[in-house]
A = this chain, B = another copy of it.
Amino acid sequence: MDSLPLYRQLAAHYVDAIHAGSLKAGDKLPSLRSLMRLHDISLSTALQLCRAMESEGWVEARDRSGYFVRRPQRLVIAAMEEPASGLPPDPAQFVNMRTRMANFMARGRLNEVKLNFAISRAAPELYPAEALRNAMTRALRQRPELLTTASSQKGHEQFRQVVAQRNLRVGMTVAPDDVLVTNGCIEALNLALRAIAKPGDTVAVESPTFYGLLQVLESLGLRGLEIPTSPQTGISLEALDLAIHTYDDIKAVVVVPHLQNPIGSVMPDAHKQRLVQLCESHGIALVEDDTYSDLVETEVPPRAIKSWDRTGNVVYCASLHKVLAPGLRLGWITAGRWHAQVEMLKYAQTRNNEALAQIAAGEIIASGGYDRHLRRLRERLHTQRDQTADAIARYFPSGTRLNLPRGGFQLWVELPERLSSVAVFEAALREHMLVAPGAQFSNAARFDHYLRINCGWPFSEAVDAGLRRLGQIVEEGCAAQKSLPASASAATRSPRVAVQSSRARAA
């Protein structure tokens, strides 16, 4: 026990207290300040203690209130294991996502979809429609020439100021002129990669990662190199390091440090810092896609990777699409040493963004309305995530695994028996449900037995019934697979064994 770091020893102490019942579900852990005093430890040790307990699912952070003991762990659902980062990475390969995605999307469009678990945002009612509408109507009334004059090339000045100011909260010091407004984060990523790399170059990405990024790589003629990524801590720095030494043509690394899509990981600050150094020392550009950080449920907002950047090697991309208003295409980029190049590319690609959305969003952020919205949104999503995870635990066969992310609206679910998610996708579609099969998130076959399940919609009877039916579909799929004569499925249905069997097969 003594060989464990101090924060681990203390965490074990509090876990014992939970087991013993002296800390019950809903109880508050001592505050950081109290922990420091109680155990005579530093702030960083107290934070490590809380985060370790949080990532293991014992406690949960609530905005500005501290850490609270969670409800009892789900009975049958096991956490996913860490990826095998010691393995050599996949060879650089040209991704071929577009056709695959086009097929999935066309299949979805051709069928009547009643329950869409494949979607990647929250329900409309979770966003501040009225505040947005009012801000826009006001802007239209107060600025009679808004629609009949061209808007500013870099973006509306007030909005860029608000963004620059907000960046301070995540440790970034940038001037409003360093912020270039784009059509969503996806245009920011396009511009970043066009400025950094040329067709044929290799870009390292997390594996799995969101298909939008894989499509961008393909459309720009870039090769994607998938780096194993932990559901807890994000991209494996060991695997990335190995990849850098194996392939000498990696031009950029793209990561989603906070609530990675689809896996939900949040990179620890120490990892972010090491990643900055690793990229910097090898002359590899680091692109940070920070779409989700405002959804992370922590007491303090997570620090941006860009905050450790001293040389302009980190390109920061973000957007309000998922967090403030899915009806807006409002993103931005702070492109470090590629700034001038990115600005020119943006001008040649789509010119300036329209001003109206920028004015409205800028006002809502500056007024504090955005932060109030975020607190409500995070609470709602927290509840929905728990309800969805509970339903999956209840309805899906044992051997199913998931990690409960620290925010956001999606769950990354590993199916038992390495059941193909494409089969589940097809079966679900026949019953008017859409799920996002794992094959959408990687060019490798590795994630074929995963599903991404949306939990951004209020947990209704229909959602509950849908998840129950999905669980049956998975169960039926597993049974059918087992009945095949050649099936190698000797795994029992105990989650513990499923973990080992999955590891054995993955290796």
Contact = CB atoms under 8 A, between A and B. Distances in A.
Contacts of A216: 348-349
A212 interface: yes
Given A354-B357, A356-B356, A148 B124 contact: yes
Contacts of A136: 136, 140, 147, 356
Given A136-B140, A329-B353, A354-B357, A215 B147 contact: no
Contacts of A349: 186-187, 190, 216, 219, 349
Interface in A304-336: 325-329
A149 B347 CA distance: 27
B137 A215 contact: no
A129 interface: yes
A19 B352 CA distance: 51
A485 interface: no
A328 B141 CA distance: 16
B329 A350 contact: yes
Interface string A178-222: 000001101100100010001100000000000010011011010
B133 A147 contact: yes
A358 to B, nearest CB: 12
B348 A329 contact: no
Q: How many copies of this chain?
A: 2
A239 interface: no
Contacts of A124: 145, 148-149
Given A129-B145, A350-B350, 19 more contacts: A102-B340, A124-B148, A124-B149, A127-B147, A127-B148, A129-B147, A133-B146, A133-B147, A136-B136, A137-B141, A148-B326, A184-B351, A190-B349, A215-B344, A218-B348, A327-B355, A329-B352, A354-B354, A356-B356
A150 B219 contact: no
Contacts of A125: 148
A186 B344 contact: no
A178 to B, nearest CB: 17
A447 to B, nearest CB: 21
Please list the 5 inter-chain residue pairs (A to B) with the smallest Cβ-Cβ separation, ordered nearest first: A147-B327, A127-B148, A124-B148, A183-B350, A219-B348
